Every structure is written in C-alpha cells, then in structure tokens.
Amino acid sequence: MINATIITIGDEILIGQIVDTNSASISRHLNKAGITVTEKLSIGDSAEQITSSLKQALERTNIVIITGGLGPTKDDITKHTLARFFSSQMREDEAVARHVKSMLEARGIVYNELNHSQAMVPEKCQVLFNHHGTAPGMWFEDERGHVAISLPGVPFEMEHLMEDEVMPRLKARFTLRANIHRTMITSGLPESMLAERIAQWEDALPKGLKLAYLPSPNIVRLRLSAYDRDDADSTRKEIEAQFDKLYHIIPEHIVGFEDASVQALVHDLLTQHHLTLATAESCTGGTIASRFTAMSGSSQYFLCGVVSYSNEAKRDVLGVNYDDIMSYGAVSETVVRQMAEGARRISGADYAISTSGIAGPTGGSKEKPVGTVWMAVATPTRTISMMRNSGTDRSQIINRASAYAIEMLYNELKNDIK
C-alpha cells in the first residue's frame, strides 16, 4: 500500500484564524489515485517543528505533501527549512523568475528583492511550475525513494499544482492500487434506528469492506470503503452488490448516492424534467439561492430569487398582503405561503420555495423563539407549508432552515414527477 502524510504549515491554522480546506482537497486527489492518507498534521511556522514532523512522516509513509509557508515575506520559512533538510544549496530558477516578473507586471507591481527570492529554489528539488501564482511547488526524494512535495498554501494555486503536476508524477513514480469509496445517502432514519435496521446486513459485510456512518441533520450517509485493491472495477461491483442488498432493506430511505447534496438532487430533477425554480427568502438571506446557483447549469432552471428582508420588500416585490404581515407577523404561515406564491407569480417559475424565521440572536419571543422558521413550497398544483425549529445559533439556523426547505422541495418534486 502506498500511503501519505499531509502537513499543513501556518500559525494561522493553530490559532484557528483560518479553516484548513487544502488538506481535504489533497486527500481527495490522493485517494482517487489509490494513495491512502494515514495522517494529517498541522504545525506552526517553526523550522524545528517542520524538520521533526517531516522526518517522522518520511519514515512512516511513502509520500509527504506539505502546504503553506512559501510566500515572499519573512514569516515564510518552509523553503529554506526544506533546503537544509535535504542538505541542498539554493539556485535561481530562470523560468520561475521570468514568470514572477511577467505576473507582477500584468498587475502593475514592481519586481523587488522579495519577489526575486521567490525564484530561488533548492538545487536538489524538481520545480513544479505554478502557472497561477508566484511561489513554485517543489518535489524532493530521499535515499529511500520517499517523496516530499511542497505546495503553496493559496487554495487555487495548490489545486492546479495537484492536478497538473503532482498527480501525474505520483502516478508515474509509484505503482498504485485502488482505493474505492462509495456513499449511499439515507434520509428519515436517525443513526441509531438506521443501525438497528441494517444490523444483519452490516454484520454480513465481507471483511475488506469498511462501513462508516456520517450523520448530519435529517441525513445519514453510509460509506463503504475498500483499500489497496488490485482491481478497481471488481471492487466497485462488489460494493454495488452490497448497496443493492441495502436498498432492498430500506428502499424508502435511500435518497441518493455519493456526496450529492439534496440541492444537487433537486438540480438533477429540475434539469431532467425542464422545470424552473424561484426562491423567496427572509431569514435564510440568500443562502438557498446561492446553494443552487453555485452549481454549474443552474441557469437552466433558476429564474429568480428574492431576499425580502423588510416587510415592504415582502409587499412590494413579492406582493404579500401588508395587513397579513401586520396581523400575523412576518414569521407566520400566512406570510411564508404568500411569499412562495409571490415568487412563483413574479418569475413564472414552476416551483418556488420560501422561508421566514427568527435567526437571532435577538428578535425572539415566547410564542416565536429564536430558531422558529416557517417554510413553504408553491408548486403548479398546491402550496404546502411547515414550521421547523431550526436551532439556537444564527448560522446554524440559517443553514438548517435552508436544508429543511430544500428537502421539502425535493420531496414535493419527487412526488410530482413519479
């Protein structure tokens, strides 16, 4: 089995100033190619810590991928630490120097001493050319044939280097076997009940297949993983067969496969059936619209979203009856239904989805505490509505209410289409 360690460098990670998303992306690339990540490590901008972590990681795993600490400024120390680790002098790389100059010129920036330092690389590394930034990637090998790869921490640059340089080289350098992960998405059964329902199936799983439960609000993902296989195709078929059996145990709770979000399932249904969508959001503030429009191809069905935060916007843009807002409150079944119907009417969409709730931390009352969210779906034939308490924390309420409302739409769509 070819395995790997990921090391992310930066005090900003250790003090919690940023969330490390790079390592998840690197993990996906490696796993897809059959390389098993056994450990991820985040350490500070310290030469000693980088050296000792790298030493241990190269002893334990074939591949070590390091991100961060490659900028032009003094707090970035990864490059010089790596040069010392591999007992290497520095040299100027002309291609990198030319590239840095032309990138800076395009942005009207004067090339200075610090930029010059970005073109300096350790003699013993292969340069991984970074078309999208000024800091190059670097590839080192030790006497065991283990590989250490250093990449810039800017997510977009890292991503391109992984795709264009790192993965092709790793595939050429190592004989890789297959890691297969497949995920089935269940809905409507809490984790413990689901586990009970499928216990017999779980107990009968072949030894090489590892099952994982990934619970989130209203959804539990079940993942089957097989590591270090000779034959990817037969492994995939083996997993399919197990999922087939599972499907027959809980058919009504299977909503999709892989990491498709519920909005992706809606996206597929709307696209396939040439149906259109509009949104009218109050407390979710554009989150539902942004989840759909984040998906490529959404312009085929997404017509219009309204974030009607003020009462006047509810009235003037969506046509909600102002007296109803005054009588029942903006957070009410009457208003949320009129919002969905208004969004359908003004956009001409087939379906519309709406939310109105109290995201907090202020604005709650005894009758309508923070977390109270009304949601509605207007369809070509009817409007349905429901209230769900969506939590206690503002971002949690916004995210959960968005998820609940999209799920409500999904259930309606499924019923209408079949």
Q: Is 110 in the site for its own copies (CB under 8 A)?
A: yes
Measured distance CA(277)–CA(284) in Å, rounded: 17
Q: Is 316 in the site for its own copies (CB under 8 A)?
A: yes
Which residue in 2, 26, 50, 401 binds its own copies (CB under 8 A)?
26
Give the total residue count for the chain: 418
Cα(first)–Cα(last) distance of the chain, in Å? 46
What φ, ψ does residue 98 adopt, rounded to 5°? -60, -45
Contacts for 320-329 with beta carbons within 8 Å, 24 or more apart?
A: 329/368
Closest approach, Cβ 76 to its own copies, in A, equals: 8
Q: Is 296 in the site for its own copies (CB under 8 A)?
A: yes
Judged by CB under 8 A, the chain residues 158 through 217 that form the site for its own copies are: 159, 179, 181, 183, 190-193, 195-196, 202, 210-215
Cβ atoms 34, 176 nearer than 8 A: yes
Helical spans, DSSP H, in 108-231: 113-118, 155-161, 167-173, 191-197, 199-203
- Which pair of structure tokens corresponds to residue 110? 């004067």
Which residue in 176, 209, 264, 313 binds its own copies (CB under 8 A)?
313
- Which pair of structure tokens corresponds to residue 268? 């597929």
What φ, ψ does residue 405 adopt, rounded to 5°? -65, -40
Residue 21 vs 126, nearer CB to its own copies: 21
Measured distance CA(161)–CA(67) in Å, rounded: 11
Which residue in 173, 223, 229, 236 binds its own copies (CB under 8 A)?
223
Considering only CA atoms, which of 379, 376, 375 is closest in space to residue 350?
A: 379
Judged by CB under 8 A, the chain residues 342 through 361 that form the site for its own copies are: 346-348, 359-361
Helical spans, DSSP H, in 45-146: 47-60, 78-85, 94-106, 113-118
Q: Is 363 in the site for its own copies (CB under 8 A)?
A: yes
Which residue in 254, 306, 325, 409 binds its own copies (CB under 8 A)?
306
Q: Sort strands 137-141 and 351-357 into parallel, antiparallel or unpaired.
A: unpaired
Q: Is 18 in the site for its own copies (CB under 8 A)?
A: yes
Closest approach, Cβ 142 to its own copies, in A, equals: 22
DSSP secondary structure letter of residue 301: T
Q: Is 322 in the site for its own copies (CB under 8 A)?
A: no
Judged by CB under 8 A, the chain residues 36 through 75 that form the site for its own copies are: 36-45, 49, 71-75
- Label residue 59 exposed, middle or buried (CB < 10 Å: 0-12, 13-18, 19+): exposed
The helix (H) or strand (E) run that includes residue 251 is none
Q: Is 308 in the site for its own copies (CB under 8 A)?
A: yes
Residue 29 vs 169, nearer CB to its own copies: 29
Which residue in 122, 256, 305, 357 binds its own copies (CB under 8 A)?
305
Residue 49 vs 383, nearer CB to its own copies: 49
Judged by CB under 8 A, the chain residues 247 through 276 that form the site for its own copies are: 259
Number of residues that bind its own copies (CB under 8 A): 112
Which residue in 219, 336, 391, 406 binds its own copies (CB under 8 A)?
391
Question: Which among 80-88, 242-250, 298-306, 371-379 is the span making contact with its own copies, rule CB under 8 A?
Answer: 298-306
Residue 329 vs 363, nearer CB to its own copies: 363
Number of neighbours of residue 203 by Cβ within 10 angstroms: 7
Q: Is 21 in the site for its own copies (CB under 8 A)?
A: yes
Judged by CB under 8 A, the chain residues 276 through 295 that form the site for its own copies are: 279, 281, 283-290, 292-294
